[in-house]
Amino acid sequence: MKIISYNVNGIRAAIKKGFIAWLKAANPDVICIQETKAQPEQLDGALFEEAGYPYQYWFSAQKKGYSGVAIFSKTKPKRVVYGTGIESMDFEGRNLRVDFENLSIMSLYLPSGTNDARLDFKLNYMAEFQEYINALKKEVPNLVVCGDYNICHEEIDIHNPKMKGVSGFLPVERAWIGSFIDSGFIDTFRYFVKEPDHYSWWSYRANARNNNKGWRIDYCMATETLKGRLQRAFILPEAKHSDHCPIGVEVEG
């Protein structure tokens, strides 16, 4: 199964930049989308169906034009779970999960910590999400949590490791994502690729993307139970519909 995750920074804007043609060419079995910034009724679902995705699931934020996640699939999942059931996070539309017979896939959009209030919200979200995942893994052991985590884990994951005072690379954030991995997950990209200079997000400022001054803040995290089924992981920087680029993983069976 080929799984792609993509923060599109507005699905309607991405469509205008050729997202549908790209999706057809990329041809994942499942695509997890973050930051849709749309309600499903604002889009023509036939566009995605014609691209090969008859099963489309959306979990939008209550606030219009903000946040939101979606999952498109070629095959019908046996179950779809909207949100986490945790009221303090679900109003922003940040978690959506589809369960197949022997694999579950989540689209996740962790908050960014752009100011003190949002950083506090992010840290609380991270703590509650970890508790939620710890319980979920007992029910759903084969889980891939794809999405924008808004955190660089190691110095290799950011073009300038001196940026330790900026949200996304704060010691507390890095420690959390390290403990998340230690709780039973594999950072699938780093499992296969050890070299530096691979990023998934670039600022729109200072020609950052052309100069590859980026951050790797998007991940496909797979539970340790899937280790023997991982085939490859990848980043697709040539896709330019957003300030992020798509990432992905292939899982056997």
- Active-site option among 29, 90, 99, 148: 148
Confidence of residue 245 (pLDDT cuts 50, 70, 90): very high
| DSSP H or E stretch at residue 119 | helix 116-139
pLDDT for position 47 = 96
Q: Is the pLDDT of residue 71 over 90?
A: yes
Q: Is the pLDDT of residue 73 over 80?
A: yes
Cβ pair 151, 187 in contact under 8 A: no
- Three-state SS sequence of 165-206: CCCCCCHHHHHHHHHHHHCCEEEHHHHHCCCCCCCCEECCCC
Mean pLDDT of 170-194: 98
> How many other C-beta atoms lie within 10 A of the C-beta of residue 157?
24
Average pLDDT, the chain: 97
**What is d(CA 55, CA 73) in angstroms, rounded to the nearest whole number?**
5
CATH number at 27 reads 3.60.10.10
Q: How many domains does the chain have?
A: 1
**What is d(CA 231, CA 246) in angstroms, rounded to the nearest whole number?**
18
In three-state secondary structure terms, 68 is: coil
Sequence-distant (≥ 6) Cβ neighbours of residue 185 within 8 angstroms: 145, 221, 222, 223, 224
What is the rounded (10 degree) CA torsion for 19, 34, 176, 202?
A: 40
The pTM for the full model equals 0.97
pLDDT for position 229 = 98
Instruction: Give residue 216's domain range.
Output: 2-251
Mean pLDDT of 2-7: 99
187 noted as active-site residue: no
Mean pLDDT of 86-106: 96
**What is d(CA 148, CA 234) in angstroms, rounded to the nearest whole number?**
15
pLDDT for position 253 = 77
**What is d(CA 240, CA 208) in angstroms, rounded to the nearest whole number?**
13
Mean pLDDT of 182-203: 98
Mean pLDDT of 51-79: 97
Q: Is the pLDDT of residue 63 over 80?
A: yes
In three-state secondary structure terms, 25 is: helix
